[in-house]
Structure 1
């Protein structure tokens, strides 16, 4: 059938599309900037007609109406693979549940986990003349849609860029329903202003960066500061293999720091699985042949990451214990974010020839009562999740310095971590290390 004719046959309203959803269905929402806003609102309107419908999400960039419509979880259950600020608030309110998983395993989980997802609702770029819809800013697990999902609903958004890459398209023959909404602007994430502490941490990291490194950055003030320092530097031939493409990469490219020409794989290309940032970023990725938007089982596979030499991974974390275990996702039983791609890239950097993985944090934080507490701790609170196990922890960075734990014994780790803790907490950390029998040398005179 002619693509335009087929398009007309499949074009429906959001309310008509979600009428095909049944009780017991397992829905996958589009992720990041590809969330199905119209279908979600229509699904919420059907709440009283449906029971036990699971909604899988990842890094929510909007408040899902279906989820907040049902605090009882009788009609809709939200399983979230990474808590954004929205997801964290929903979790604190008892409206969502976290799915512990590393991002490189997302494909395997989608294929093999009980209660297989059978409905996909995702935002796409408008159809081209050959009948193909581009996934735009989010590839992630979307290439699985034709393989796994029985009902495929797409929302067309003319603001979604067309992004080059691997398997990042759907043909109209693989789609059941097409929605044309009001083309809302894509989710914007502005750069966060950095603090003096962020600046100190970023400068420690910069001292470790050399020409030809293959870079992964996350989102936040400190990674943004690293990106701006790289843009201002004379470092040459940076490569990009990252989970998330952010504005900082555009700044570095425009400054001539990024060429991608020293990469061992995807030479000359920006490799990423989703892009999330400002209009500047979305304009950069639109129809840009330098972009290689790839599935998450490729971008985040530690063994693929490690095929590049000198992988340079910069991640934030919440706490580090004296053994070098890193928690980046929870405080006790409270889920704050998720594993995401942190394990993937820290391990990938660990395996890479010349690779370096950095877990970065301010040395202190104030608790809910306003009391200053150390983020370097003897041991985590009960139920705190370990995101990076101690045997692959590489660099830990605070505003007091940078330490490399790779291959270090427990007493060495304790000493080095205490040396970059806030000075007000070092004496107590030494006492605790002595009790734990991991203190060999005291730096007290």
Structure 2
């Protein structure tokens, strides 16, 4: 029954993208569910189409539609969360960012005024019940699909089948066109070199993790360090409720640190909304009943995060100012990534019983010319986007320690943050804090204050 319907709907990529008309809004699948063959076929229509608006989410690589038409006359490319390729395009005027709180991803499609004329997504092969599994990303894809006038799936035999709570698959009856893809290999995140600074930050964080904590980890080298430290520790009965599933969870699970049995929500399951890592991770999640994929509106729901006791969120930042404002998505006017779920998990984890929300960053950065600057700033750089307002920040961690900010006055925040800055920059930060009228240390000799902070 379903195979005959499949056959009727199966076309090549060039035929499928003929459904796109000038002026349409086209949504791409999220992260590694982004279309590859369909994107290339659509790019071949550059010059033929006009004013087609494309929305992506973390496209792996560089979308061909943007490369095919740098002028933007045929294709105007936009993204809810930048990958490296989308950042490259943005730097050259070829990609616009769409601000969003990730937990609202489903809602803006379900209840908002967004138009989606065509939705294109990579999926796993159809099963005997007629379902195509979304595999690596649940995210807001089913909401995008329901909003779309035309749905095109690109089948990739390499896509893992990921069990879920709901929203993890689409039925053949909901699909207009099926394209057998060229079975693109799933992109593996490059292994970021682990530094001594990463290890120092990780140690400060792991010391704060209790038995039975429920973890959310962000992207980058730090989660891998933390995962390795936890795997080698005696911490037990950890749970997982995270927007992104990364390799570190595999290491912790195989070491027996994760049981998921002390969670209030989905006990026994690692809950996530998309996965991004290495082949090890993709093999682990394939048909694994220990993992459960849900839409982002479920996973990142503030109250659901908070419902799990001892929720712990661990995320990175670009810079933090002395007021406690966290900038995690841009450097000046340069958009680097996106808001993602950082706000969701910082808020939800703090409101969890016994929960903790950490923002982690190295105390300094080195530019291409070798100049070293502090990532703890007096105030955010001109044009820099604030991802977390100062009122939403609990802990900030550098290699020099942990600053606790909740309930603290502006001078207490400045003192705590200067205390975890690189020693070479503390004196200068004190002077700037004095100018900003948030430094009570001005009442005592500065050398004595610096000495007490260093100690």
TM bin (shorter chain): over 0.9
In the alignment, the residues of structure 2 paired with residue 334 and residue 392 of structure 1 have an alpha-carbon distance, to the nearest angstrom, of: 24
Q: In the TM superposition, what is the alpha-carbon distance from 1:280 to its structure 2 partner? A: 1.2
Q: In the TM superposition, what is the alpha-carbon distance from 1:147 to its structure 2 partner? A: 2.2
Aligned to 1:136: 135
Q: In the TM superposition, what is the alpha-carbon distance from 1:444 to its structure 2 partner? A: 2.8
In the alignment, the residues of structure 1 paired with residue 145 and residue 75 of structure 2 have an alpha-carbon distance, to the nearest angstrom, of: 24
Q: In the TM superposition, what is the alpha-carbon distance from 1:145 to its structure 2 partner? A: 4.0
How many residue pairs match? The answer is: 444
Aligned to 2:178: 178
Judged with a 3 Å threshold, the aligned counterparts in structure 2 of structure 1 residues 145 and 333 are, in CA distance, closer, same or farther, namely closer
Aligned to 1:259: 259
Q: In the TM superposition, what is the alpha-carbon distance from 1:112 to its structure 2 partner? A: 4.8
Q: In the TM superposition, what is the alpha-carbon distance from 1:193 to its structure 2 partner? A: 2.6
In the alignment, the residues of structure 2 paired with residue 193 and residue 439 of structure 1 have an alpha-carbon distance, to the nearest angstrom, of: 37
Matched, 1:87 2:53: no
Q: Is the 8 A contact 1:132 1:172 kept in 2?
A: yes
In the alignment, the residues of structure 2 paired with residue 438 and residue 381 of structure 1 have an alpha-carbon distance, to the nearest angstrom, of: 18
Q: In the TM superposition, what is the alpha-carbon distance from 1:226 to its structure 2 partner? A: 0.5
Aligned to 1:71: 70
In the alignment, the residues of structure 2 paired with residue 189 and residue 365 of structure 1 have an alpha-carbon distance, to the nearest angstrom, of: 22
Aligned to 2:400: 400
Matched, 1:59 2:58: yes
Aligned to 1:14: 13
Q: In the TM superposition, what is the alpha-carbon distance from 1:406 to its structure 2 partner? A: 1.1
| 1:247-270 CA-partner distances (Å, limit 9, x unpaired) | 110110000000000000000000
Q: In the TM superposition, what is the alpha-carbon distance from 1:12 to its structure 2 partner? A: 0.1
| 1:194-252 CA-partner distances (Å, limit 9, x unpaired) | 10010000001011011000000112111210011011101000000000001110110
Q: Say which is worse superposed, 350-359 or 102-111, in terms of deviation.
A: 102-111
Aligned to 2:452: none
Question: What are the equivalent positions in structure 2 for 1:24-173 lying under 5 Å apart?
Answer: 24-165=23-164, 166-173=166-173
In the alignment, the residues of structure 2 paired with residue 88 and residue 114 of structure 1 have an alpha-carbon distance, to the nearest angstrom, of: 27
1:444 to 436, 443, 447: 447
Q: In the TM superposition, what is the alpha-carbon distance from 1:169 to its structure 2 partner? A: 0.9
Aligned to 1:214: 214
Aligned to 2:234: 234
In structure 2, runs of 5+ residues without a counterpart are 449-455
| 1:96-151 CA-partner distances (Å, limit 9, x unpaired) | 00111111111222245555122110011111111111111110011214421110
Aligned to 2:304: 304
In the alignment, the residues of structure 1 paired with residue 314 and residue 77 of structure 2 have an alpha-carbon distance, to the nearest angstrom, of: 30
| 1:342-362 CA-partner distances (Å, limit 9, x unpaired) | 111111111111111111111
In the alignment, the residues of structure 1 paired with residue 173 and residue 310 of structure 2 have an alpha-carbon distance, to the nearest angstrom, of: 43
Q: Say which is worse superposed, 229-238 or 97-106, in terms of deviation.
A: 97-106
Q: Is the 8 A contact 1:26 1:115 kept in 2?
A: no
In the alignment, the residues of structure 1 paired with residue 70 and residue 113 of structure 2 have an alpha-carbon distance, to the nearest angstrom, of: 24
In structure 1, runs of 5+ residues without a counterpart are none
Q: In the TM superposition, what is the alpha-carbon distance from 1:307 to its structure 2 partner? A: 0.8
| 1:146-167 CA-partner distances (Å, limit 9, x unpaired) | 4211100001111111111122
Q: In the TM superposition, what is the alpha-carbon distance from 1:57 to its structure 2 partner? A: 0.7
Q: In the TM superposition, what is the alpha-carbon distance from 1:368 to its structure 2 partner? A: 4.7
Give the structure-1-normalised TM-score.
0.98
Judged with a 3 Å threshold, the aligned counterparts in structure 2 of structure 1 residues 58 and 145 are, in CA distance, closer, same or farther, namely closer
Q: In the TM superposition, what is the alpha-carbon distance from 1:188 to its structure 2 partner? A: 1.1
Q: Is the 8 A contact 1:191 1:224 kept in 2?
A: no
Q: In the TM superposition, what is the alpha-carbon distance from 1:372 to its structure 2 partner? A: 1.1
Give the structure-2-normalised TM-score.
0.95
Q: Is the 8 A contact 1:145 1:152 kept in 2?
A: no
Partner of 1:30: helix, strand, or coil? strand
